[in-house]
Amino acid sequence: MIVGRRQVETARQEDGLASMAGDRTVTVRRIATNVGAVVSGVDLRAPLAAETVRTIRQALLDHGVVFMRDQDISREQMWAFAEHFGQPQASDTAGSAEDRPEQVATLDFGPQRGATSIWHADMTSMATPPLATLLRAVQVPEFGGDTSWSSMAAAWDALSPPMQAMLDGLTALHVVESLVERLKDFGPQYRATYTRRNGVGSVHPVALTHPESGRRTLYVNEAFVTRIVELEPAESAAVLAMLFRHVQRPEFTMRWKWRANDVAFWDNRSVQHYASPDYVGPRLMQRFALAGWTPGKPSSLGGAADARSASRTDS
Ligand SMILES: O=C(O)CCC(=O)C(=O)O
């Protein structure tokens, strides 16, 4: 179900003209009903006009994930783009404000690819999971290796009012251990680094009000959630099985077929994603995230960046 306000916003954007940046027209085009938009007319090799940053930020809030094609950019240029929206970190779990773009790895998940072929928001086992994530395709297979995203606001809206009332106010336990298992041989090393800094898990609300869009969203994912705390184990297992299936409904989702130099940028507060492991040959991606937010608490895209530029101005 799409609420009226969103339909109006969407119609406004569908005329394609979002803003002018220098002599370029920046356009935002939806690619599915509930999630995903392509932003065109942006060149991430050049400094971005403030209006372009605002357009991309709004597109991310409206659509959960945005894509920019043909971005043959360096790590430094991708990092500089990300800094408009928050504090980039090279590692979700061990990163800090001291991280630098040269630490961003070019990865082929290879034998660990099963780790991301499950519906998830990134690292929700942390007390402060990443706010948003960026992924750039460096080399893609001829076919396969698509990534899908699902709108957690659409998933919430489609639940019946009695089910929403039951879930409202409940909390869920998110743990890292099932990711450790999916990482296979790499798992034990990952567990050691992760738990030293982050413990083993966190409890977050089952449903959240998105701190910027104001939409209610479902915040449980199959990769990390093992238990709804307030329910009996058997009740919890049954409800979670229903919800993990529910978020996959095709009408909440979109699927992206990668080309080299595509950049995807998603809001971990409002979407889940799934990487299809159905490819042969190399699939090389560069990936990093924006420093975390506390689910259920205020947070904003651009909040950290705005604060940093304000403090630079003040001094
Ligand atoms: O490789 C992909 O398409 C997505 C990987 C993923 O799940 C992630 O970066 O969090």
Residue nearest to ligand 1 atom 1, measured at CA: 275
In a domain, 151, yes or no: yes
Whether residue 247 has pLDDT greater than 70: yes
Whether residue 9 has pLDDT greater than 70: no
Q: Encode pLDDT of 100-123 as tens digits.
A: 999 999 998 776 778 999 999 999
Residue nearest to ligand 1 atom 10, measured at CA: 122
Does the beta carbon of 262 sit less than 6 angstroms from any atom of ligand 1? no
In a domain, 284, yes or no: yes
More confident residue, 100 or 183: 100
Give the chain's domain count.
1
Does the beta carbon of 135 sit less than 6 angstroms from any atom of ligand 1? yes
In a domain, 302, yes or no: no
Q: Encode pLDDT of 152-165 as tens digits.
A: 999 999 999 999 99
In a domain, 300, yes or no: no
Does the beta carbon of 285 sit less than 6 angstroms from any atom of ligand 1? yes
Domain of 269, in residue numbers = 4-293
Task: Name the band, by pLDDT with cuts 50, 70 and 90, for residue 308.
Answer: very low
Closest atom of ligand 1 to 283 CA is 1
In a domain, 72, yes or no: yes
Task: Name the band, by pLDDT with cuts 50, 70 and 90, for residue 213.
Answer: very high
Whether residue 1 has pLDDT greater than 90: no
CATH number at residue 277: 3.60.130.10
- Residue 14: what pLDDT? 45
Q: Best mutation site among 147, 148, 149 for ligand 1, i.e. most ligand atoms within 8 A of its Cβ? A: 147
Task: Name the band, by pLDDT with cuts 50, 70 and 90, for residue 22.
Answer: low
Does the beta carbon of 55 sit less than 6 angstroms from any atom of ligand 1? no
State the average pLDDT over residues 266-294. 95
Q: Best mutation site among 135, 259, 263, 276 for ligand 1, i.e. most ligand atoms within 8 A of its Cβ? A: 135
CA of 303 to the centre of ligand 1 (A): 24
Give the three-state DSSP class for 73.
coil
pLDDT > 90: what percent of the chain? 79
Residue nearest to ligand 1 atom 2, measured at CA: 275
In a domain, 308, yes or no: no
In a domain, 56, yes or no: yes
Amino acid 98 reads E
Print burial letters for 136-175: b (CB count within 10 Å at least 16), e (below 16): bbeebeeeebbbbbbbbbbbbbbbeeeeeeebeebbbbbb
Does the beta carbon of 287 sit less than 6 angstroms from any atom of ligand 1? yes
Query: Among 144-148, 183-187, 202-206, 220-224, which is the least confidently predicted range?
Result: 183-187
Does the beta carbon of 37 sit less than 6 angstroms from any atom of ligand 1? no
CB-based burial of residue 55 (10 Å sphere; 0-12 exposed, 13-18 middle, 19+ buried)? Answer: buried
Whether residue 130 has pLDDT greater than 90: yes
State the average pLDDT over residues 48-75. 97
Does the beta carbon of 286 sit less than 6 angstroms from any atom of ligand 1? no
Whether residue 168 has pLDDT greater than 70: yes
Residues 272/253, Cβ–Cβ less than 8 Å: no
- Residue 296: what pLDDT? 94
Please give the positions annotated as active site. Answer: 120, 122, 273, 287
Whether residue 191 has pLDDT greater than 50: yes
Residue 89 has φ and ψ, to the nearest 5°, of -135, 135
CA of 275 to the centre of ligand 1 (A): 6
Q: Encode pLDDT of 93-104 as tens digits.
A: 899 999 999 999
Instruction: Give the largest CA-CA distance in the chain.
Output: 60
Closest atom of ligand 1 to 285 CA is 1
Task: Indicate the average pLDDT of the chain.
Answer: 89
Q: How would DSSP label each residue in 217-283?
A: EE---TTTEEEETTS-HHHHHHHHHHHHHHTT-GGGEEEE---TT-EEEEETTTEEEEE-----S--
Pairing of strands 207-209, 171-175: unpaired
